[in-house]
Structures are given as C-alpha cells and as structure tokens.
Chains A and B, each alone.
Chain A
Amino acid sequence: MLTLTHLYWLVGAIMTLVAVLTLLDQAHPRRFRSGLFWLCYAAIFIVGDWLPTAVVGALVIGMALLAGLGGLAAGPYQPLSEAQQQHSLQRLGKKLFIPALAIPGFTLVLVLMMGQMPGLHWFDPKNLTLLSLGVACILAFAIACYLTRESPRQGGLEAKRLLEAIGWAFLLPHLLATLGLLFNQAGVGQIIATLSNDYLQLDSRLAAVAAYALAMAGFTVIMGNAFAAFPVITAGLGIPLLIMQYNANPAVMAAIGMFCGYCGTLLTPMAANFNIVPVALLGLKDQHAVIKAQAPTALLLLLVNIVLLDQLAF
C-alpha cells in the first residue's frame, strides 16, 4: 500500500536531483550553499523519520540560515531558442495543455476511483488526495516528457529553475507551520485566552459577536493560520461569551467564526504559501502585491460575517 512515506521519498528524490544538478553546475553563483540546502531538505524527507529529532531541528536551523542569508540564488539556465520554441509550439499547439490539465484530472480520477474501491488497499485512505496528487504528477510528468521529447534530466533542470525562482519563500510555509506547533507547545494559545478572559468586558451581544469575529481574524493574522486561531479564540471568547452567555448556535458560530479567520489569512504575510509564494512565482515587484489585491475583499467580507453572525446565530 502506498503511504505518505513513499510520497516523502519521491519528494526527497526530486530534491536530491536538484542538489546534484546544482553541485554539478560550475557556473552557479551559490553552488555549494544551494546544493547543501537541498541535500539537507532531501535528507529530512528521506531519512527524517529515523534521525534523532534534535538532529532534524539542527538541520532546520542550518537550512533557515542558508536560505535566510542569501544562500539560494538562481543559476544559469539555457532556454530553448526562439526558433526552437516556435517550432515546438507549431508542433504541439493545444496539446501543451494536456499534461497541465492531467495533474488535476488524474488526481480527481484517482481520488474517486480509490474512494469507490476501498477494498483494493492501494492507497492509504487517510492521505488519499495527497497520494493521488503524487501519482498524478508522475503520470503527467511522463506525458510531458513524451510530448516535448525531453529527458527526465531536463525535467529536473526545470524543477531547479522554478525552485530558484521561488527562492527562500519555498521554505517559509513549512517553517511557519513548524512555528505554529511550537507556539502550541509553549502555551501561547492559553496565555491569549487567559488575557482576553481577564481584560475584555463586553456587555452587549453585538460587541461580543464583533469581538469574537475580530479576534479570530486578528489572531489568524498573527499565526498565519485560521486552524491555529480557532481553538484559542473559541475557548477564550466563543464558548464563554457567545454560547454560554448569549446562547449562540454553536454550528453557526463555528462556521462563520472560521470564515472570519480566513479573512485574516488573506491579510497576512504569515500565510506565506498563499500570499508570499505566488508573489515569487509570478515575479511581482511588490512583496505584498497579493495581500493588497485581497484586502478590500477580506475587509468587506469580515464586516458581512459580523452581520451574518449577529443575525443567524441567535
């Protein structure tokens, strides 16, 4: 049966390939530091489960220093010549869309198929979507190589080019998720809940609703993740105030409360995979361009959520 471990090995293998290609690239401006970064990351994916966790922690700090201090840079890349690309475009035309659409297409088919036939035991049912995505990407990669008549090595070079374009932003979402777990272990959530219980005096229903909604959004801005904010703010404000004192419907409160958190996610650089990685992927000049594009929608929706919560929950 395919499990997450196999998927991690695949990712580790790709990272090893990127590391080797980088180390072999004599014209690369940060050859050894970039290569070392990808080797460390690959090791964490391939043998991470068998390493002492303190060693993994030390590797993480090392990788953060390598990435944060400018150790990742773009190497030279040889694109196809204008004429070759035109020739390729003429030959392939709309067929170029096939591998791109095959990624979601195969994922969807695999999820539905394996969901219908749990007796097969091919995929670990707990991680069905991720494993389907992994298999779909292998299939789509094969199709892409066949159509473009390129070698898997060129595929590795392309992955390396895009990873170099993303740069340190690639590590950021993973690091932020790690920080979220560390905050939990250090009891940051409980401190916030205690503080808000002790110091917030809310004597009208609307004020309580607004406080809960804004706290969900605000704490999500800090943590970068509404899932991290939900237990803290709901334990601190939602249950004692809205449910106990004003008899709110818990299902409504939870549903809309979580959405208030999502409004916060749209506003924060801490949600790096949504707000910072695309800036790197699209090559935008302004680091906060995506957040600025989202802000009006997020703020209006937060207001709508407060009204909806006040009208629907009681």
Chain B
Amino acid sequence: MNYWPLLGIAVVIIGFVLRFNAVLVVICAGIVTGLCAWMPPLQLLSALGESFLKTRTLPVILLLPLAIIGLLERHGLKQQAQRFIAGVKGATVGRLLSIYLLAREGSAALGLTSLGGHPQMVRPLVAPMAEALAERQHPGLSQTLRDKVKAMAAATDNIGLFFGEDVFVAFGAIVLMHTFLRESGIETDPMHIALWGIPTAIAAFLIHAVRLHRLDHVLAAEQARLSKSVQRNPEPPAC
C-alpha cells in the first residue's frame, strides 16, 4: 500500500501550526496529496478542477445574502438591532444567546437550517445585540471582552445548527449514514438514527446554555476586577 498520500495531512497540520496563510496551505496539501498518489500533473489539475466544480454550493450560501445585509448595514441595521434589544427589560447576554441557541437548534431540528447563519443573522443582528447588552450591563467594557461576546454569538450559532440538524430525518448526514451502513451490509432505519441523536442534542443544549449563563458572571467578575484596579489607581484630581 502507498502510504505517501498521508504527507498531505502532514502539510495541513504543519501549515496550520506554523500559521502560514491557510489558502496556500490547503492548495499545497492538495498538490502534495495528488503527486504522492502518483497522479500525472494534468490528471491532478483535472481532479482539482472537477472537485472544485462539484463543491460550488458552498460559496453560494455565503455570497447571496451579502448585498442585502450590506445595504441594510449602510442604513443602520446594527444600530437598530442595538436600539431594539436595549428596549427589552431584563435581557442579558446569556439570556439572549440562550434563546437564540434554543431557536437555532429547534428550527434546525425541523429542517429549517437556513433560518440562521453567520452572514445573515450573526453579523447583522445577534452579535450587535449581544454586544449592546454587554455594554449596558457593564459600561466601558474592554475590547477583549467585547470580542469574547461576539465570538460566543458565532459559537452559539454553530452549536445550535450542528446538534439540531442531525435530529431531522431528511438531513444529509442521516442519509449519508444510512447509505454507508447499507453499502456495508448493515440495515438501519433512518428514523432510528435521527431519534438516537436526541440525547446528545439535549446534552449539547444544556452544556452550552449553562456556559452562556456563566458568561454573564464571567463578564461581571472581569468588570469588577477592572473597576477595582481603577480605584486602586485613581485618576489624579483635576485642579
């Protein structure tokens, strides 16, 4: 057996660890893998082109909402989102993101995976709302903590999507598992695969919701630490 194609994986790992530009790392890994599998250069180019054509749906989802979101941002969508959430009494970062997690995971479990996503929901609405709430809870929040809140908004979208969609029986992953097991001579009912996903889906919600709840406390603790250090080093009185 030819083990050389594993070099492609090595290129990926080394490239990411050394933090080279990821696009260059991936294209190098592709070329190395092909050459190590003894593909002639022209066949390698063909394989690359064919695979790229087959996966064209990926950028579609990312690109299409951009013009709309951009126009709305130009006219103050983020400010409007922040104004809206500021009017909701009792809202905190943790509560907002927990509700979004529930909505995202629940709708994905019903097969409605396009109801969220980074370009159309997180960037224009969820992240600005979370940031505004964090700012309201703790005025003068540091940039690091702001970034932490925004990253948590993106993470919440991912977690809701991943662990919701697999519970939906017509989702691609279920079809893939069913087909693969059948080809290996094992019969399963796609419905069973979907149902056995539910315990993990619930666990994912609970774990992440607890972390979101704790985020409010983490922000509070961090803020208290900051204001204490301000008290210790008071501004010189103006005279």
Q: Which residues of A contact B (CB under 8 A)?
A: 4, 7-8, 10-11, 14-15, 41, 44-45, 48-49, 51-61, 64-65, 67-69, 79-80, 85-86, 88-89, 92-94, 96-97, 99-100, 103-104, 107-108, 111, 127, 129-130, 132-134, 137, 140-141, 144-145, 148, 150, 154-159, 161-163, 166, 168-179, 181-183, 185-188, 190-191, 194, 222, 226-227, 230-231, 234-235, 239, 243, 249-252, 254-256, 258-259, 262, 265-266, 269-270, 272-279, 281-282, 284-287, 289-290, 292-294, 296-297, 300-301, 304-305, 308, 312
Contact B53 A255 (CB under 8 A): no
Identify B118's interface contact among A4, A49, A249, A277, CB under 8 A.
A277
Contacts of B33 in A (CB 8 A): 179, 182-183, 186, 188
Select which of A51, A171, A256 is within 8 A of B200 by beta carbon.
Answer: A256
Q: How far is the CA of A3 from the CA of B140 in the complex (A)?
A: 51
Query: Closest chain B residue to A287 by CB distance?
Result: B19
B-side contacts of A69, CB under 8 Å: 21, 24
Closest chain B CB from A179 CB (angstroms): 5
Which B residues touch A188, using CB under 8 A?
Answer: 5-6, 8-9, 33
Cα of A7 to Cα of B13 in the assembled complex, Å: 35
Residue in chain A with minimal CB distance to B71: A144
Contacts A148-B71, A174-B56, A251-B189: A186 and B5 contacting too (C-beta < 8 A)?
yes
> Which of A53, A58, A270 is close to B53, meaning CB atoms less than 8 Å apart?
A53
Closest residue of chain A to B125 (Cβ to Cβ) is A100
Specify which chain A residues have a CB less than 8 angstroms from the CB of B74 in the assembled complex: 79-80, 85, 148, 150, 154, 158
- Is the beta-carbon distance between A175 and B75 smaller than 8 angstroms? no
Task: State whether the Cβ of B155 lies closer than 8 Å to any Cβ in chain A.
Answer: yes
**Given A53-B46, A100-B72, A251-B189, A175–B26 Cβ distance below 8 Å?**
yes
Residues of B within 8 A of A127 (CB): 57
Q: For residue B53, which residues in chain A have a CB less than 8 angstroms away from its CB?
A: 44, 48-49, 53, 56
* Additional A-B contacts beyond A11-B64, A188-B6 (5; CB < 8 A): A64-B27, A103-B68, A282-B127, A289-B150, A304-B207
Check B203–A186 contact: CB distance below 8 A: no
Contact of A100 with B176 at beta-carbon distance under 8 Å, contacts A55-B49, A188-B8, A273-B62 already known: no
> In the complex, which of the residues B5, B71, B154, B197 has the most CB atoms of chain A within 10 Å of its own CB atom?
B71
Q: Are A57 and B73 in contact (CB under 8 A)?
A: no
Asked if residues A159 and B70 are in contact (CB atoms below 8 Å), the reply is yes
Question: What residue in chain A is nearest B165 (Cβ atoms)?
Answer: A262
Give Cα A256 to B13, complex, Å: 26
**B220 interface residue, CB < 8 Å from A?**
no
Contact with A along B207-231 (1 / 0, CB 8 A): 1100100000000000000000000
Q: Is B238 an interface residue (CB 8 A)?
A: no
Known: A251-B188, A252-B196. Contact between A290 and B55, CB under 8 A? no
Say yes or no for B141: interface residue by CB 8 A criterion.
Answer: no
CB <8 Å contact, A265 and B162: yes
Cβ contact of A186, chosen from B36, B71, B114, B118, cutoff 8 A: B36
Q: Which residues of chain B have a CB within 8 Å of any CB of chain A?
A: 1-3, 5-6, 8-9, 12-13, 16, 19, 21-24, 26-27, 29-31, 33-34, 36-37, 39, 42, 44-77, 79-81, 84, 112-116, 118-125, 127, 143, 147-148, 150-155, 157-159, 162-163, 166, 172-173, 176-177, 180-181, 184, 186, 188-189, 192-197, 199-200, 203-204, 207-208, 211
Interface of A is mostly: helix
Interfacial chain A residues near B62, Cβ < 8 Å: 166, 170, 173, 273, 277
Chain B residues with CB under 8 Å of A130's CB are: 57, 60-61
* Interface contact A255-B196, CB-CB below 8 Å: yes
Which residue from A11, A259, A290 sits with its C-beta under 8 Å from B158? A290
- Given the known interface contacts A174-B56, A182-B48, the answer about A293 and B154 at a Cβ–Cβ threshold of 8 Å is yes
CA of A61 to CA of B67, assembled, Å:
27
**In the assembled complex, how far is the CB of residue B89 from the closest CB belonging to chain A, in whole angstroms?**
18
Do A103 and B65 contact each other (CB < 8 Å), given the known contacts A53-B50, A259-B163, A304-B203? yes
- A273 touching B58 by the CB < 8 A rule? yes
**Which A residues touch B56, using CB under 8 A?**
8, 11, 44-45, 48, 174
Known A176-B26, A179-B29, A297-B204; judge A89-B79 contact (CB<8 A).
Answer: yes
List of A residues within 8 angstroms of B116 by Cβ: 104
B34 to chain A, nearest CB (A): 6
Min C-beta distance of A211 to chain B, whole Å: 18
